[in-house]
Amino acid sequence: MKILITGGAGFIGSHVVRRMVKRYPNYHIYNLDALTYAGNLENIKDIESFKNYTFIKGDITNAEFLNSLFLKYKFSSVIHLAAESHVDRSIIDPLAFVKTNVIGTVNLLNASKELWKDDFTNKLFYHVSTDEVYGSLENCGLFTENTSYKPNSPYAASKASSDHFVRAYGETYNLPFIISNCSNNYGPNHFPEKLIPLFINNIINKKSLPVYGDGNYTRDWLYVEDHAKAIDLAFHKGKTGETYNIGGFNEWKNIDLVKLLCKQMDTILNRPGGESKKLITFVKDRPGHDLRYAIDATKINEELDWKPSVTFEEGLLKTINWYLENQEWLKNVTSGSYVEYYSKMYNQKA
């Protein structure tokens, strides 16, 4: 099987690529990534010499490039993760999200359809999406696969649109697809602009911890390797044409999460109890901020026997330890010197 994974130098993509390369030596994994600020080849340097792995630098917004790539490598499946993924950035520049998340996805769908059109047997377009497409919940209820879409941020709207295009290509052209919508991920290799890695970095450096609004926003959190495992399972055993919700059965108010993080880090860093908590500051709310997301992951649990393997406390400890053991990685992504790593590794300009 020749699998194209897009966005494999990013946070979740790197865990999916590593898992697939290591678990399936008979597959060839092609990792296509434009290496934007969020893409970092250091995330996957441990597998770059594997024989069943090829990295391709390229942009999914370039249709001509994609078509020639599909003709050259004749992929049998696609696992699509490449995206602009940060809500705050989408508020500043929505069009960048339309370009990558919508047009980029349609370009990939077109290239897949063109290559596979004579025989869809054993072909699959697996689309990785988010629970944010469903909008916001009040204090009770859960998102199921049948919840109607009601995206509130430009990021969520662009992902919702990409989901609709994937489904439409299934209905219109019979393109075999699976979509999964997952809750907030956390874990190693997360770019430190998102809550957990940002706050770990700030606690290490005794910088303030800016919590939006009153801190009562609620999210469901899933350890990134459990998401990668769910994608692997749904890719191999899921039913085509179906959606699977993936979540951690693990809801936390932001403020409670931050307090837990402070407590765990004070212990690990041998700081007096309560020291890091003093760094918390409340800042002006994000516009259109969704109050609560919560996923009902019963379908993937019952149909594919998937469930998270770690508790939040365990996953958070693993994550903190990873960041403490990989300060060089943290320094590099915050200084941008991973761009030099690319030039060195591949002997060309990033």
Ligand X SMILES: NC(=O)c1ccc[n+]([C@@H]2O[C@H](COP(=O)([O-])OP(=O)(O)OC[C@H]3O[C@@H](n4cnc5c(N)ncnc54)[C@H](O)[C@@H]3O)[C@@H](O)[C@H]2O)c1
Write out the residues near ligand X by the rule CB under 6 A.
6-7, 9-13, 33-36, 38-39, 59-61, 81-85, 100, 104, 128-130, 159, 182, 184-185, 191
Backbone angles phi, psi at 203, to 5 degrees: -65, -45
* Pairing assessment for the beta strands 184-186 and 209-212 based on DSSP bridges: unpaired
Taking the complex as a whole, the smallest distance from the CB of residue 12 to ligand X amounts, in Å, to 4
Question: Rounded to whole angstroms, what are the CA distances from 107 to 44, 101, 158?
Answer: 26, 10, 14
**Closer residue to ligand X (CB): 184 or 276:** 184
Taking the complex as a whole, the smallest distance from the CB of residue 160 to ligand X amounts, in Å, to 11
Within a 13 Å sphere around the CA of 258, how many CA atoms are in the beta-carbon half? 28
Backbone angles phi, psi at 155, to 5 degrees: -60, -50
User: Is 256 annotated as catalytic?
Assistant: no
User: Is 296 annotated as catalytic?
Assistant: no
Taking the complex as a whole, the smallest distance from the CB of residue 119 to ligand X amounts, in Å, to 27
Angstrom distance (rounded) from CA 78 to CA 219 = 29
Cβ atoms of 113 and 175 within 8 Å: the answer is yes
Tell me the residue nearest to ligand X as measured from the CB. 10
**Closer residue to ligand X (CB): 77 or 276:** 77
Angstrom distance (rounded) from CA 337 to CA 69 = 29
User: Is 163 annotated as catalytic?
Assistant: no
**Closer residue to ligand X (CB): 184 or 264:** 184
Task: Provide, for the chain, the percentages of residues in helix, strand and coil under a 3-state DSSP scheme, each rounded to the nearest 5.
Answer: 45, 15, 35
DSSP annotation of 7 = T
* Pairing assessment for the beta strands 53-57 and 28-33 based on DSSP bridges: parallel
Taking the complex as a whole, the smallest distance from the CB of residue 330 to ligand X amounts, in Å, to 15
Taking the complex as a whole, the smallest distance from the CB of residue 87 to ligand X amounts, in Å, to 10
DSSP 41-81: GGGGGGGTT-TTEEEEE--TT-HHHHHHHHHHH--SEEEE-
Quote the tokens at residue 167. 């489904």
Taking the complex as a whole, the smallest distance from the CB of residue 91 to ligand X amounts, in Å, to 16
**Closer residue to ligand X (CB): 156 or 209:** 156
**Closer residue to ligand X (CB): 133 or 255:** 133
Active-site hit among 30, 53, 134, 155: 155
Q: Centre a 10 Å sphere on the Cβ of residue 121 and count the other Cβ atoms it contains.
A: 7
**Closer residue to ligand X (CB): 35 or 265:** 35
Return the active site residues: 131-132, 155
